Structure 1
């Protein structure tokens, strides 16, 4: 996943508020009119008398040309290169007003440390991110409506905002994940206390990870992290959280960030053999709970075991690139074997949560791939 700016996450504020019927007035920034002087030519040669070629010219006076200061050419205005506009600075008052209004929307009183982090995040992209600047000013403009709104109206706004931020985070938006983390840090919003506590972002991401693993093992989409599944996993994690080891709790708390890093990094960059290694690990871990994946999990496991045991291949002596080639050549036989398995169109994960230890399944080996770099052998 490419790196994201704060704009995509903060835009969720306006999406949520717009749905609730509160629309911020547009903020117009007036560009100051400046008068541009026509620059003098740079290094313009002095005029010279035109003389026929046969005549030798002897200058009577030696003249040293004067070099003018270089001027920056103005870019041509095109649809992809709009005219330059004045950027309003991020002054302390703007930062304070935005933090106050955003805190009111979330129902969060920011600590000095949190305020400093917000300031750093906004300052980083302020000069280059027009969308972010507009969002900040439009959010500030909402203060009168938020102050005058009823408790029910403010609760509705907050609910929609948090839901939008969570979904954007699940879709890979790191800024949305950062923004909703302030809401999740409030004790009243925890699912379960602990060190660290359990929050809804972790449980929702656990649902996404479980479905991703199942779908990869099956080779097609058979499991969906819908609202029903997310609610069920949230309840399951809440019930078992007190018994989960401390180190596993710490892994779970880092799951949202680490999962996005893994999915947009190693999973895309590494080869198909690496991904198959992960599918084998996931299948071995999940087949104890989910009967639908047992056949294909065994098939994947046997495929790798056969390649490693083949004396003609000499698996332990070939390079990682050669292993990739050998693995790709075995794909046709593997696909033929897949067609012999009973068809599976859907996996209702909620049917198996009672027997599954969700916290240990997600936060423990061999699925702790998202916080380390597995060595493909």
Structure 2
């Protein structure tokens, strides 16, 4: 299996240049008495302490999320932080207590049940920690099941299911039953089933957390391979920060139902907004996360360069090349244009700052 690395960059253009696919503003999900009263005044929303005093659980509190087309947007936090509840609000599997959610500019919360079902069947894919495969159906039948629900004829749905089975690397196992597959293979079936309808938006809720560490790493590789191939808009939930920084273009960190920071993996490590975020990041090897672009110096047009390095290389990837060089390297963007320069001193300083 290939082991692609996430460049941290969108398929085309920067994150800020891509259109917003899913726009969530001021979303709340509360459980308890007198919720309408607590949220009656939009200009004076309740604090965490107000909710506690009222005997109300703030599962999601005033969440703002803008997910851009083609990006992997990770929502992370510890158990009970509200990440799964937020995603269920975004997909309207549960109804928010307040707020606004738009999908491609359409008000998701005003959709009829019929339109919402059609949206989920044709534009949204979902994968959960529990694989939820139908045990009496083969791999082929499980993957084709969403197309069966849509009413496609057997030949069409099986042809599309086989194409997706090949895409996730399960060709030859299409007649197996779930009990005959390993955990990783079962998860691949779940992924293939969620993608067979060619969704525009893909929700994954802790999809790999039940897997053994080695299989989990393989599934992360597979996930990145699929994203490089399909360029989906992805909302991915995890409680594992190492998994988050490996997969994400951007990360939203949640605590007590609230998003405390949204940033790229590099920004979270370099500039954590709170002590809570800093605690997540302090044991992460910076060399695996920080990229040349984040520590480069301004380009000196008078300097002689030893060579050039891509701005998206990690410091670990760049370290060996710059360590032995007697001159700085030019740093280039995706078009080959020089945008800065880097030398061994800059790399070593960034890595040493990561030491405990």
| TM over 0.5, shorter chain | no
Q: What is the TM-score of this pair, normalised by structure 2?
A: 0.24
Report the structure, 1 or 2, having the larger helix content: 1
Report the structure, 1 or 2, having the larger strand content: 2
